Chains A and B, each alone.
Chain A
Amino acid sequence: MFSVARQSALRQARTQLRFAQPTALLRHSALSRLLSTLAVLEQRDGKLNVSSLAAITAGTKLGGSITAFVAGSGVKTVADEAAKVKGIEKIIYVENGAYDKGLPENFAPLLVENIKKGGFTHILAGHSAFGKNLMPRVAALLDSQQISDITEIESEDTFVRPIYAGNAILTVQSSDGIKIITVRGTAFPSPEVEGGSATIEEGVDPKADSPTEWVSEDLAKSDRPDLGSADKVVSGGRGLKSKEEFDRLMPPLADALGAAIGASRAAVDSGFADNSLQVGQTGKNVAPQLYLCAGISGAIQHLAGMKDSKVIAAINKDPDAPIFQVADVGLVGDLFDKVPELTEKLKAQ
């Protein structure tokens, strides 16, 4: 009796609501209240890593509030900088040099404490070396099955990600209470870095010890745009034959275009180019406006890292090279002639 009465009362209420506004909107606003995202930002030497802001863009697509998180020494200034980014409601910062190198052994417990305190439902970070290293550890501590390298958000629990080197696209639905996600930077354009006004708040610091010690780093110095976020990328493969030829031909072409330099695994394995330049399934994913490659055959592992580029141009002497199947513009010819000619003609423009 009681339950019948309750049901009919509910039905009545529902009907009234349905008249008041469309159901989809209602569901969305109900979700937005519950949904709260923590976006983990990266910093280096007290400077915000702008490419990590893709997590903010992804958070915007989820709806709900977005809180950003940053930790390290001197991060108050990073927090001040990030406060201007559009879309962020609040920034939590933890000032402690122990987090400068992003060691997951102490960074993961730090995140977990702040996630629990803030009651966040979605934790987002870039699928960068930092995010890849840290987030699965966080997920394990929270007993959550992470979703890696997403390229689309379908709803608050349903996400799209490439599998099998991008040869298949998987849509998955997560039943975890806290969703741990890394996002593909090239799929979520950076938000506007001006006009926002987030509040800044200090986070909790569990001060966990790291049994692992950071010793040193050796980063390739470059004045060129960052490979992962460049508008244009020129990339060389095995066809360049040697490191000398790679260094002779590729940098001038990159300079003529204002492009970043990439390389295929074959070129990296042969020592023509540094490992950090590798584009592909096991290297970097890029999706520039223009991807211009020379001497790259187009193995599936390489295509995995670049086939979302807006325009692909290829120079290869083999007319049957698989790269021509994805290239918008293909030129069959000897790269040792064509690349210098292209460089000269671009410079002359």
Chain B
Amino acid sequence: MSGLRILVPIKRVIDYAVKPRVNRAQTAVETAHVQHSMNPFDELSVEEAVRLRERTSEVTEILAFSAGPQKAQDILRTAMAMGADRSIHVVVEEKNALEPLGVAKLLKKVVEENKSNLVILGKQSIDDDAGQTGQMLAGLLNWSQATQASKVEVKGENVTVIREVDGGVETLKAKLPMIITTDLRLNEPRYASLPNIMKAKKKKLEKKTLADYGLDTETRLKTIKVTEPAARQGGVKVEDVDGMISKLKELGAL
């Protein structure tokens, strides 16, 4: 295999610092006029791809990809300002949003079309918290997978990944092609500098539609309702440690 052709799928989500509100009709979370940004785990994916290029000279291409509304091109520009070479945007309106399985099927076609041999995805998106797409793509392609990666090393075709598991870490070895999903400890994403933001405007952003990929986009899950979580009872403040202990006893927690 000649060099690394990295695909980085990214998603536009409500900014992590915003407290989401459920809409009045209880059909979804309110997204209009709400600050959006790149899914934080996807920033880690872009950063890792760029660092791989900085660490090795084996990276042939970094392709950023997003399937989402018009405005998803903003996050693709961000990815290119961070160091991605070009990007593909499949325009999908919010009301027709794909499920992880649909995204995985789409990504399989993108991988084949662009001859990617390493796909780096976030371990989950912070909106639907499903954590499925990377593993599904690995299954569809029958490739190796290393999820929740906190360290990645590539030497030729050999990839070593340290991944976060319950109670600690484990180390895996695999050969390209493979799928990696990122965990928070993997790296610290860079900020795009102004010159790089300007340069990113000249990089290629290709627009496509689902029809171009000939995909069946019927969803399997139907939203019945979206509600606010049960509010916790307002608690009390105590004056001192003794007050805390007696209150905890009263509540049956001690």
Contact = CB atoms under 8 A, between A and B. Distances in A.
Instruction: Indicate, yes or no, whether A interacts with B.
Output: yes
Contact of A171 (B101, B135, B160, B225): B225
A149 B166 CA distance: 16
B187 interface: no
Interface in A208-230: 211-220, 228
A145 B219 contact: yes
A168 B164 contact: no
A212 B172 contact: yes
Interface string A115-135: 000000000000011101111
Interface residues of chain B: helix, strand, loop or mixed (majority): mixed
B35 interface: no
Contacts of B252: 289, 311
A217 to B, nearest CB: 4
Contacts of A35: none
B129 A148 contact: yes
A106 to B, nearest CB: 11
A165 to B, nearest CB: 6
B240 interface: yes
Interface string B226-254: 11110011111111111111011001111
A168 B224 contact: no
Nearest to A328: B235
B29 interface: yes
Contacts of B92: none
A167 interface: yes
A96 interface: no
Given A170-B223, A217-B171, A275 B164 contact: yes
Contacts of B185: 275
B3 interface: no
Contacts of B215: none
Contacts of B248: 290, 311, 313, 329
B57 to A, nearest CB: 25
Contacts of A228: 166
A282 B236 CA distance: 29
Interface string B201-237: 0000000000000000001111111111100111111
B220 A137 contact: no
Nearest to B218: A175
Given A140-B135, A162-B129, A216-B171, A133 B144 contact: no
Contacts of B253: 232, 289-290, 310-311, 313
Interface band, chain A: 35 or more
A38 to B, nearest CB: 18
Contact of A329 (B220, B235, B242): B235
Given A136-B139, A282-B184, A173 B222 contact: yes
B100 A136 contact: yes
B64 interface: no
B224 A327 contact: no
B136 A331 contact: no
B78 interface: no
B241 A331 contact: yes
A171 B223 contact: yes
A276 interface: yes
B163 to A, nearest CB: 8
B222 A329 contact: no
B226 A328 contact: no
- Among B150, B170, B175, residue most surrounded by chain A Cβ atoms (within 10 Å): B170
B16 interface: yes
Contacts of A324: 235, 237
B228 A169 contact: yes
A103 B178 CA distance: 14
Interface string A266-295: 000100001110000110100001100000
Given A141-B139, A213-B173, A217-B169, A167 B20 contact: yes
Given A165-B126, A168-B20, A212 B169 contact: no
Contacts of B138: 104, 137, 140
A330 B101 CA distance: 44
Contact of A338 (B99, B129, B183, B241): B241
A144 B167 CA distance: 30
Contacts of B69: none
Contacts of A162: 129, 229
Given A144-B101, A171-B226, A342-B241, 8 more contacts: A133-B148, A136-B133, A168-B22, A213-B173, A282-B123, A329-B238, A330-B238, A345-B245
The 10 closest A-B pairs by CB, nearest first: A140-B139, A219-B168, A136-B135, A136-B132, A145-B220, A140-B136, A137-B139, A311-B253, A328-B235, A217-B170
5 contacts: A140-B101, A168-B20, A168-B229, A212-B178, A217-B165
